[in-house]
């Protein structure tokens, strides 16, 4: 029996060898093609650039200059969002308080709500009209308390331009400290938003801008942004029959004597605020979150150093991120420096919230753009629902992160 079976077994060896040979032969072009793609990626990354890619399990697939400290631009907002979610909690909601004092002054105390917009002011005025009796509806002064934030808060990288991305931070701000306007057919300045009136208070600033339409910001000088919030509130209060007889002024609540008549709670949770932060990449919202986080962790008043300290401490102690520098929360400052490796750690921690990011096809990501700076960071979804993580920091003048992202999309299926 053995003599009969032996030739039969031997006859299979050449066949199996051929199968292995041709199998390997088929794999060689695929492997080379994949390697060529990574080679192409290498060629796009200069000395002032960095790229890191990890698979869904965290294994590094590609890395170049990953420990180099570079300018992240707006991808820094991922860290700011993570710090706010961790410190404040995803369900936290901002509040704005309304008091009456013994002289029938209405005091408004802000706590840094970044989404205190015209629609919210309409809701507030409607509720206040039901809380005040006929006598109380004749208010003396409208007093604005912005003391929850230190004043002024100077954001590195923010200038005194009329651009919305230069909007200052404050404890009591409305409509992102911006006014959206246009000219009508008669050449008269009017509001570009149906829900927001164009107030005389803002006209001088609009005329000074020389713009025909667009958005201008209210500055921190002479409490302009806070006082604008007061003027807009007075408008909506008047619509509800609440008359401000006196003036609009800066002041403080005296909680031991003033009566709390309404606490407005934002309809947006921190989780929803973060989603809108990524949707609009709003610098004002990012630094509001950072300063509020600082006040929450270390006590009021909120300051930028407290916010930076809260972010840095959490990054070092919880996420084990070292050797980085942040000076504000939006990424507008070129003083911010972080490595692709450390930003990848941030992405790993942020992964449970990835759906909050902007989505295009399989990519969930945050862009970053400053003059001669182009960055991208986020996740690429594979066919099984797993998430590749990627960081692209391009600090070479004249170059873009987009070609690199295209290569990643072609390679990561």
Lowest mean pLDDT among 151-160, 340-349, 359-368: 151-160
pTM as predicted: 0.88
Lowest mean pLDDT among 7-21, 96-110, 354-368: 7-21
Q: Identify the architecture of domain 38-87+275-411 in CATH.
A: 3-Layer(aba) Sandwich (3.40)
Quick one: tokens of 275?
Answer: 């989603």
Contact 68, 50 (CB under 8 A): yes
Best CA proximity match to 373, nearest among 392, 356, 360, 354? 392
Q: What is the pLDDT of residue 328?
A: 98
| CATH node for 93-267 | 3.50.80.20
- Backbone dihedral angles phi then psi of residue 42, each to the nearest 5 degrees: -55, -40
Q: What is the pLDDT of residue 3?
A: 43
**Looking at the predicted structure, is the pLDDT value of residue 23 above 60?**
no
Quick one: tokens of 195?
Answer: 């829900």
**In the chain, what are the domain boundaries?**
38-87+275-411, 93-267
**Looking at the predicted structure, is the pLDDT value of residue 7 above 70?**
no
For the stretch 75-99, pLDDT in tens is: 999 999 999 999 999 999 999 999 9
Q: What is the pLDDT of residue 57?
A: 94
Q: What is the pLDDT of residue 29?
A: 43
Q: What is the pLDDT of residue 1?
A: 45
Q: What is the pLDDT of residue 40?
A: 82
Distance CA 114, CA 329 (A): 14
Contact 142, 244 (CB under 8 A): yes
Residue 168 confidence class, pLDDT cut points 50, 70, 90: confident
Residue 31 confidence class, pLDDT cut points 50, 70, 90: very low
Q: What is the pLDDT of residue 274?
A: 98
Neighbours of 145 (CB within 10 A): 21
The residue with greater pLDDT, 13 or 151, is 151
**Looking at the predicted structure, is the pLDDT value of residue 4 above 50?**
no
Instruction: Report whether the peptide linkage leading into residue 301 is cis, meaning its omega lies within 30 degrees of zero.
Output: yes
Residue 152 confidence class, pLDDT cut points 50, 70, 90: confident
* 111, 171, 214, 239 from 193: Cα distances, Å: 25, 24, 11, 17
**Looking at the predicted structure, is the pLDDT value of residue 14 above 60?**
no
Q: What is the pLDDT of residue 27?
A: 43
E strands present in 237-316: 243-244, 248-250, 259-269
HSE value, Cβ hemisphere, 13 Å, CA-based, for 13: 6
For the stretch 186-229, pLDDT in tens is: 899 999 999 999 999 999 889 988 899 999 988 888 899 999 99
For the stretch 385-398, pLDDT in tens is: 999 999 999 999 99
Best CA proximity match to 86, nearest among 358, 383, 318, 402? 318
């Amino acid at each position: 029996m053995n003599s009969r079976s032996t030739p039969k077994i031997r006859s299979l060896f050449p066949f199996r060898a051929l199968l292995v040979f041709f199998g390997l032969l088929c794999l060689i072009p695929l492997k080379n093609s994949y390697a060529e793609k990574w080679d192409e990626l290498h060629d796009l990354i200069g000395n002032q650039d960095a790229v890191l890619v990890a698979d869904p399990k965290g294994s590094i697939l590609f890395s170049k200059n990953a420990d180099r400290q570079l300018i992240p631009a707006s991808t820094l907002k991922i860290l700011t969002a993570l710090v706010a979610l961790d410190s404040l909690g995803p369900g936290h909601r901002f509040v704005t308080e309304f008091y009456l004092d013994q002289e029938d002054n209405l005091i408004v105390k802000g706590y840094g709500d970044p989404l205190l917009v015209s629609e919210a002011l309409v809701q507030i005025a409607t509720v206040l009209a039901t809380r005040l009796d006929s006598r109380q509806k004749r208010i003396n002064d409208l007093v604005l308390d912005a003391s929850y934030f230190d004043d002024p808060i100077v954001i590195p990288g923010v200038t005194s331009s009329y651009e919305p991305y230069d909007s200052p931070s404050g404890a009591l701000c409305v409509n992102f400290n911006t006014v959206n306007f246009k000219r009508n057919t008669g050449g008269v300045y009017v509001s570009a938003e149906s829900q927001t009136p164009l107030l005389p208070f803002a006209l001088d600033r609009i005329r000074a801008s020389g713009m025909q339409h667009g958005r201008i910001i209210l500055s921190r000088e002479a409490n302009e942004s806070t006082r604008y919030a007061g003027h807009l509130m007075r408008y909506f209060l008047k619509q509800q029959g609440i008359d401000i007889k006196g003036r609009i002024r800066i002041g403080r609540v005296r909680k031991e004597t003033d009566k709390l008549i309404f606490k407005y709670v934002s309809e947006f949770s921190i989780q929803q605020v973060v989603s809108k932060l990524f949707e609009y990449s709003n610098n004002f919202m990012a630094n509001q979150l950072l300063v509020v986080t600082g006040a929450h962790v270390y006590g009021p008043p909120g300051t930028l150093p407290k916010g930076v300290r809260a972010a840095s401490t959490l990054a070092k102690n919880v996420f084990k991120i070292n050797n980085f520098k942040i000076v504000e929360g939006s990424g507008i400052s070129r003083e911010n420096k972080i490595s692709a490796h450390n930003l990848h750690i941030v992405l790993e921690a942020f992964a449970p919230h990835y759906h909050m990011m902007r989505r295009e096809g399989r990519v969930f990501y945050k862009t970053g753009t400053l003059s001669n700076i182009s960055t991208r960071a986020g996740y690429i979804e594979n066919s099984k629902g797993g998430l590749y993580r990627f960081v692209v920091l391009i600090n070479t003048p004249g170059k873009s992160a987009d070609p690199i992202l295209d290569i990643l999309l072609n390679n990561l299926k």
